[in-house]
């Protein structure tokens, strides 16, 4: 049995109240990552800050690295800039940059002010890189040596300097020529059989594939798909090696992108939401999407208002309008999800909307027929009028075909024109399908009005 979370929080509070640094450190050290994340999320803001300031900076840095960025930024912004800087100082440069990037400008500047000029400039430089580029996800803790050094010198250096530093990329040694330009790469593995007086240049692989600080995330994904490397060196605008992108970090960045995309399709704008964030911030982020959506909904519903006279004659139809709206949305969103997935896999390209449409329309016809038949049967059994079934079922059938056509192709078209499909596909889909669904149902009803009157 793991201990219940409430006990852990009580323990943390006990040590905080007693100002017992040693006890708190020992407790935190023994918590698993998920226990820590969970406990910190349950502390009030003030106690989160006390916890970080009571711990030694290196232990506080460990805590910050464990918890999600969004939560970490909130806590760091709350504590004294000097103490925040001391904690950041114990983190690797790319982690520092990730946090600084998400902070409010004035909080970030206050912390950078407290760091050494060198560190602050390194962070400022890293923050400049777009998080969706190589510069934004590279690690800068890499091994770079002059090509004329010997294997013995390097092993000696590694023994002295690197032993306890887990954060350095130990798998590769990059070598540079006299001008500081990368001239080769050696796998750590290759040092084992080499004699100590061998020069690095003589065991290095000379043809080194590199990427640029501006290389985009999807190009990097292609790169690692093509080459079975653990990491690739990154070259800055001056042609010098400034870091390396690790395959695993790329996977993490890709995962994070997918999380953002998933949250965006559900209308959480601006990325991650953690419920410990301020209520007004959460409310605003969600509203920015809802308020657009309600306007689109009003536009769609105006189709009903316009045909109000038909509805007045066939009031039973009012039961079917929300069903048609919801079901078309569901069918369309399935097609959106498959298109988003195929786009991210590279199975389909943004220019191939026609191909996708042909593949969707066949599924749309089958599902439209079946769903239309179901709703027609429901209508018939309810009112005993076959024509009500024809109106409702026919509208749902045609609208299902329309919905999968739009749902399948809109993400491709949006992507092609540079609009984020995760955010925009849903509202566009539901607005169009609602309008058409209402229009179809009400138009069919107006055509069959003599057969439907008084329902």
Binding mask 249-268 for a second copy (x = CB under 8 A): --xx-xx--xx--xx-xxxx
Closest approach of a second copy to the CB of residue 337, in Å: 4
Question: Judged by CB under 8 A, which of 195, 226, 418, 453 binds a second copy?
Answer: 226
Binding mask 300-329 for a second copy (x = CB under 8 A): xxx-xx--x--xx--xx-xxxxxx-xxx-x
Residue that the structure tokens 């460990």 belong to: 62
Question: Judged by CB under 8 A, which of 117, 195, 275, 418 binds a second copy?
Answer: 275
200 near a second copy, judged by CB under 8 A: no
By the 8 A CB rule, do 47 and 19 touch? no
- SS3 call for 231: strand
116 near a second copy, judged by CB under 8 A: no
Closest to 213 in 3D by CA, of 128, 274, 286, 294: 128
Q: How far is residue 427's CA from residue 271's CA, in Å, rounded to a whole number?
A: 18
**Contact region for a second copy (CB under 8 A) — 88-96, 130-138, 204-212, 353-361?**
353-361
Nearer to a second copy, 367 or 385 (CB): 367
Q: How far is residue 177's CA from residue 283's CA, in Å, rounded to a whole number?
A: 55
Binding mask 65-84 for a second copy (x = CB under 8 A): -x-x--x-------------
Question: Judged by CB under 8 A, which of 7, 26, 128, 155 binds a second copy?
Answer: 155
As given in the structure block, the two tokens for residue 133 are 């580029």
Q: How far is residue 12's CA from residue 315's CA, in Å, rounded to a whole number?
A: 62
33 near a second copy, judged by CB under 8 A: yes
Q: How far is residue 209's CA from residue 202's CA, in Å, rounded to a whole number?
A: 18
Nearer to a second copy, 81 or 356 (CB): 356
Closest approach of a second copy to the CB of residue 310, in Å: 10
As given in the structure block, the two tokens for residue 119 are 């560190």
21 near a second copy, judged by CB under 8 A: no
Q: How far is residue 24's CA from residue 15's CA, in Å, rounded to a whole number?
A: 6
289 near a second copy, judged by CB under 8 A: yes
Question: Judged by CB under 8 A, which of 248, 384, 386, 420 binds a second copy?
Answer: 248
As given in the structure block, the two tokens for residue 302 are 């105006």
9 near a second copy, judged by CB under 8 A: no
Helix (H) or strand (E) holding 142: strand 142-146
Closest approach of a second copy to the CB of residue 374, in Å: 6
Question: Judged by CB under 8 A, which of 63, 245, 375, 428 binds a second copy?
Answer: 375
Is the CA virtual torsion 96, 98, 101, 104 positive or negative? negative
What are the phi and psi torsion angles at 213 (to 5°)? -55, -25
Q: Give the Cβ contact number of residue 335 at 10 Å.
A: 26
């Amino acid at each position: 049995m793991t201990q219940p979370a409430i006990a852990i929080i009580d323990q943390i509070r006990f040590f905080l109240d007693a100002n017992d640094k040693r006890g708190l450190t020992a407790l935190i050290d023994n918590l698993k990552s998920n226990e820590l994340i969970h406990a910190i999320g349950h502390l009030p803001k003030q106690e989160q800050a006390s916890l970080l300031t009571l711990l030694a900076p290196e232990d506080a840095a460990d805590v910050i690295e464990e918890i999600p960025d969004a939560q970490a930024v909130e806590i760091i912004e709350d504590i004294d800039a000097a103490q925040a800087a001391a904690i950041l100082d114990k983190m690797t440069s790319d982690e520092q940059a990730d946090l600084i990037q998400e902070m409010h400008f004035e909080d970030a500047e206050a912390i950078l002010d407290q760091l050494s000029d060198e560190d602050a400039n390194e962070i400022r430089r890293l923050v400049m890189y777009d998080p969706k580029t190589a510069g934004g996800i590279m690690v800068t803790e890499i091994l770079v040596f002059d090509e004329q050094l010997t294997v013995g010198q390097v092993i000696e250096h590694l023994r002295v300097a690197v032993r306890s530093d887990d954060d350095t990329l130990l798998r590769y040694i990059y070598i540079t020529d006299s001008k500081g330009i990368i001239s080769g790469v050696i796998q750590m593995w290759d040092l084992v059989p080499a004699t100590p007086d061998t020069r690095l240049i003589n065991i290095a692989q000379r043809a080194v594939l590199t990427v640029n600080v501006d290389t985009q995330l999807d190009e990097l994904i292609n790169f690692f798909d093509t080459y079975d490397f653990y990491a690739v060196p990154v070259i800055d605008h001056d042609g010098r090696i400034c870091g390396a992108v690790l395959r695993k970090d790329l996977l993490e960045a890709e995962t994070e992108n997918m999380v953002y995309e998933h949250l965006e399709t559900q209308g959480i704008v601006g990325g991650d939401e953690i419920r410990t964030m301020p209520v007004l911030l959460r409310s605003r982020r969600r509203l920015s999407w809802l308020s657009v959506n309600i306007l689109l909904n009003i536009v769609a519903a105006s189709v009903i208002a316009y045909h109000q006279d038909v509805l007045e004659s066939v009031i039973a139809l009012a039961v079917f309008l929300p069903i048609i709206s919801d079901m078309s949305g569901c069918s369309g969103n399935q097609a959106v999800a498959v298109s988003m997935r195929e786009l991210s896999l590279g199975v389909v390209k943004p220019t191939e909307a026609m191909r996708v449409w042909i593949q969707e329309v066949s599924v749309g016809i089958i599902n439209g027929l079946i769903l239309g038949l179901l709703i027609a049967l429901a209508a018939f059994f309810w009112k005993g009028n076959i024509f009500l079934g024809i109106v409702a079922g026919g509208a749902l059938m045609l609208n299902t075909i329309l919905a999968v056509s739009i749902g399948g192709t809109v993400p491709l078209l949006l992507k092609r024109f540079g609009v984020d499909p995760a955010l925009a596909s849903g509202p566009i889909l539901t607005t169009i399908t609602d309008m058409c669904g209402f229009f179809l149902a009400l138009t069919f009803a107006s055509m069959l009005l003599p057969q439907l009157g008084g329902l």
